[in-house]
Structures are given as structure tokens and as C-alpha cells.
Structure 1
Amino acid sequence: MSFNSQKINILLADDDNEDRELFAEALQESGLDYNLKTFENGKQLVDYLNSPDKEIPNLLFLDLNMPLLSGLESLKIIRANAAFDQMPVAIYSTSSSENDKNSTFENGANLYISKPSDFTQLKKMLKQVVIMRDDLANTEIDKDKFVFTLGVIGTLIYLSSMAGKFFH
């Protein structure tokens, strides 16, 4: 696991204002040094990433079900741009559909996270994902058998996969 003390640029695209606010609050309470930029839909996100004055993100969280441009459509556009093909992308959604999970991995997502219902778990999850972002970017994914499970046991947050990768 690699982690540096440099300020982390994080983007979040989520159409739910309350989810964006909770995400920002949890990130603030995590103690990490970060910049967070939020978007209400995938179109706003893609427009920002295509703008000349953008800050290159270290990590992107994408909701799936958004107006104008869905998370999956946004992911496809982002991965088609060579400037962002190695950027860690975490799908951050309430959907538990296996089809959604499979299609996001097939289109370049590094991680699929079900939105935690508990604020404490959200804080722990965000801190862990931010800390392991470099590992996510460098993980080769066998899309036929790779599914991440993010879970919490006591104070341990773990990320495991059917491919045998295990991060903590």
C-alpha cells in the first residue's frame, strides 16, 4: 500500500444532494488532506474534465444513476481519454445489481462500493479507499472473475476480490 502526504484531489459525481453533503462531511472528518470537487451529474463531471483549467484528480467517485449522463456513460467517456485511463475510479452507488457491477468493471472501474448506510462506516471506507488509491490504479483486473467486496469487521476495513487480491 502506498500513501503520500500530498493533498489529494477527489471528484464526486452524484445527483443526490444529501449524499454529496454526507460524503463531504465524512471526508472532512477523516483527517485526510484533500480537495473535493462535486458534480450533480455526469455531464458536469465530463465537462469539467475536458476543461483546460481542471485539476487532475487522484481519485474519482461516480454514482451510477444520474440525469443527463449516467455514471456508466461518464465512465466510458473518461476511460476513452488517455489522460484519465489510469485514474482510479470507484463506483459509489446504491445499486446491488450484478449487471451494474459487471458493466462498470468491463468499462474500466477499479472499485464498486455500495453506499454505506452508517456515517461511521462511510468515514472509514473513504479513508481506506483514499489511502489505497495507488494500489487500485495499479491493479490489473481480470474482468471475468474480479469482484471487489468492501467490508468492515470491527475497526478493520477490508477489500477482497475473487481474483485473490486483498487490501487492508
Structure 2
Amino acid sequence: MEKKTILLADDDMDDTEMFCEALADVDESIICYTAINGNEAIKKLNELKEDLPDIIFLDLNMPIMNGWDCLKYLKQHERYKDIPVIMISTSSHKNDLDTATSLGAICYFVKPNNFNDLKHVLRSITSNIQKGLKEVIASLHAEGFRHLFSCEESNLK
């Protein structure tokens, strides 16, 4: 079984704790690195050398370096540009979806308040990290989790 790694950049400790707890419930073998802002996320990526994460979850609103600036950096950097990025936020504004997809994120994920919803989404995503991630997100979208995901259809093909 191939090891899976995730990087979560989020300055909200409660959200980070819920995310990590849900992830541990889904698959305790997944390694989850955390950062509290974009600068720290980039620093962590630089420290990882060859073991880059399979996917990055980036919170939109963080101090020092926000999610947008971090996403721009990642997508312009040769070493990181192919790592799938999902933007996360409590906001569900349409212009945020447009910005996320235009900057290269796979989708925009609205943080759920329901722990079981988060576990379901993370289970689906983590069990398909190395294969068909876009298809899984499209299926979650169709499965009734549309309220949590905003995905540009072209990014899911």
C-alpha cells in the first residue's frame, strides 16, 4: 500500500483539529502536515525534499500569506505546480470559485460543520488521491455534496 500525504494550511486551530481527526478516522496511515499560513506551508514543502504531499488543502483567509498568494506561488513553481490543490473556506462566494479555478485549484471546498460530511468527503478524496481525483470530486458534487463544493466543470474533466 502506497503511503499518502496531505498538507493542510489553515490558521483556524479548531478547523485543523477537526480535519486531522476526521482524516485519522478515515485512514490512520495518512500523513497530514499542517501549516498556519501560506509562508509556513511553503517552508514545510521545502523541508519535505522528495516526499511532497499528494494533495494540498489551502484555506483562503490566513495571516502573513493567504491562500490565494500561496496558490499563485505553488502553480508558478516548477516543483509544486502539479500537486493538486483544493481551496477551502467558510465562504461560498461565486467570485472565490472563479478565482480558485483561474489560479489552478481543482476546486473550492466550503468547510462543513458536520463531522460526518467531512469524513465522507475526505474518505472519497484520500482513497482516490493517486487516481481519478477529479472524477471523485465530480461524483461527490453529484452525490449531494454540491453545497460543499464549487467546481468549474472544465477542471473536473
Answer whether TM exceeds 0.5 for this pair: yes
> What band does the TM-score fall into relative to the shorter chain?
0.7 to 0.9
* Cα drift, residue 33 of structure 1: 2.6
Asked if the contact 2:5/2:30 (under 8 Å) is kept, the reply is yes
2:99 aligned with 1:103, yes or no?
yes
In the alignment, which residue of structure 2 is the partner of 1:150? 141
Change (3 A) 1:152 1:116: farther
1:135 aligned to 132, 137, 145, which one? Answer: 132
* Cα drift, residue 114 of structure 1: 0.8
> In the aligned structure 2, how far is the partner of 1:15 from the partner of 1:43?
12
Q: In proportion to residue count, which structure has more strand?
A: 1
- Structure 1: 5+ residue stretches without partners: 140-146
In the alignment, which residue of structure 2 is the partner of 1:144? none
2:111 aligned with 1:115, yes or no?
yes
In the alignment, which residue of structure 2 is the partner of 1:124? 120
> In the aligned structure 2, how far is the partner of 1:106 from the partner of 1:163?
11
2:28 aligned with 1:37, yes or no?
no
TM-score calculated relative to the size of structure 1 = 0.78
Q: In proportion to residue count, which structure has more helix?
A: 2
* Cα drift, residue 36 of structure 1: 0.5
Change (3 A) 1:159 1:30: farther
Q: Runs of 4+ in structure 1 displaced over 6 angstroms? A: none
Tell me the number of residue pairs that the alignment of Structure 1 and Structure 2 aligns: 151
Alignment deviations for residues 15-69 of structure 1 (CA, whole Å, 9 cap, x no partner): 0000000000000011353101101111100122233647311111010000000
* Cα drift, residue 135 of structure 1: 2.1
